[in-house]
């Protein structure tokens, strides 16, 4: 379970998050939506401390990760992340990308790691790309490899930051299919997305962010049928 308590974040004099509180139960799929610049990425990146909140508390599994002495490395092994720009390591093969962290962080034996890596790459449909270098993969293949890389650490939570926004339209579907296959398998998923159809289909809960505020926190069906706030309503009218 993830708990946010009054998260504020400023970059210099610009306040990007203006007091966000919320609760994400274990195994839930949460979609964060909202206009561009509303603070979605910043909020997401706070959960694995790629951004350090200016104030407020974040708990993951009852551990306060924003405390001074918190073990950030350990937190990050529990919280995986998939980026808009994939961020695969270009000088490593797809398989090496997937098994590097299990080898170095979990100290897994190489043989075991390779078996795990190949299994995960097969799961995301990249069985025959095991020895390929990322520059030779298509966008969709890159993102699927990045998902396999995040899964290799067996995280309890995966954060997705607009996982399909950098893809050519014809590759969006293959990536969304892979993400869908992970939903409701026990892993908690937090997805920042502009794909409203996808959010509606996959998410249990929707957070609607606007100008650094969590304007609406609703169950997905309810949100899309009848948003509580005016701002959410007009946002939906614009994007649907």
Ligand X SMILES: Nc1ncnc2c1ncn2[C@@H]1O[C@H](COP(=O)(O)OP(=O)(O)O)[C@@H](O)[C@H]1O
DSSP 63-117: EETTSTT--HHHHHHHEEEE-TT----TTS-HHHHHHHHHHHTS---HHHHHHHH
Q: State how far the Cα of 127 lies from the Cα of 173, in Å rounded to an integer.
A: 19
Which residues 6-35 are close enough to bind ligand X by CB under 6 A? Answer: 11, 14, 16, 34
Site string for other proteins, 33-62 (x = CB under 8 A): ---------------x-x------------
User: What's the rounded Cα separation, in Å, for the pair 13 and 120?
Assistant: 43
Q: Cβ of residue 48: shortest distance to other proteins, in angstroms?
A: 6
> Which one of residues 79, 176, 202, 232 is an interface residue with other proteins (CB under 8 A)?
79
- For the bound state, the minimum distance from the C-beta of residue 227 to other proteins, rounded and expressed in Å, comes to 32
Residue 126 DSSP SS3: coil
Q: What's the length of the chain?
A: 240
Q: Which residues from 32-51 bind Mg ion, rule CB under 5 A?
A: 41
Site string for ligand X, 137-176 (x = CB under 6 A): ----------------------------------------
What is the rounded distance in angstroms from the CA atom of residue 195 to the CA atom of residue 182? Answer: 17
Q: Is 41 in the site for ligand X (CB under 6 A)?
A: yes
**205 φ, ψ (degrees, to nearest 5):** -135, 150
- Measured from the CB atom, the residue of 38 and 164 that comes closer to ligand X is 38
Q: Does 81 bind other proteins (CB under 8 A)?
A: yes
Pairing state of beta strands 188-192 and 157-161?
parallel
Catalog residues that contact other proteins under the rule CB under 8 A.
48, 50, 73-74, 76-77, 79-81, 83, 85, 87-91, 100-101, 104-105, 133, 146, 149-150, 153
């Amino acid at each position: 379970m993830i708990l946010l308590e009054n998260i504020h974040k400023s970059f210099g004099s610009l306040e990007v998050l203006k007091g966000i509180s919320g609760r994400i139960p274990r195994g839930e799929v949460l979609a964060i939506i909202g206009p561009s610049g509303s603070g979605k990425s910043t909020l997401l990146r706070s959960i694995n401390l790629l951004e350090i909140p200016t104030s407020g508390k974040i708990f993951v599994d009852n551990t306060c990760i924003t405390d001074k002495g918190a073990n950030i490395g350990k937190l990050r092994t529990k919280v995986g992340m998939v980026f808009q720009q994939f961020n695969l390591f270009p000088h490593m093969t797809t398989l090496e990308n997937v098994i590097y962290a299990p080898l170095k962080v979990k100290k897994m034996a190489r043989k075991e790691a390779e078996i795990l890596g190949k299994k995960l790459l097969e799961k995301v449909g990249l069985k025959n790309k095991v020895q390929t270098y990322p520059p030779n993969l298509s966008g969709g293949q890159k993102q699927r490899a990045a998902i396999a890389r995040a899964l290799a650490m067996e995280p309890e939570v995966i954060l997705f930051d607009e996982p399909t926004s950098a893809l050519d339209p014809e590759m969006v579907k293959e990536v969304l299919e892979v993400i869908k296959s992970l939903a409701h398998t026990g892993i908690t998923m937090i997805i920042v997305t502009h794909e409203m159809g996808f959010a509606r289909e996959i998410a249990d809960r929707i957070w609607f962010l606007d100008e650094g505020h969590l304007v609406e926190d609703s169950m997905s069906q309810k949100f899309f049928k009848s948003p509580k706030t005016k701002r959410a309503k007009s946002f939906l009218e614009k994007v649907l």
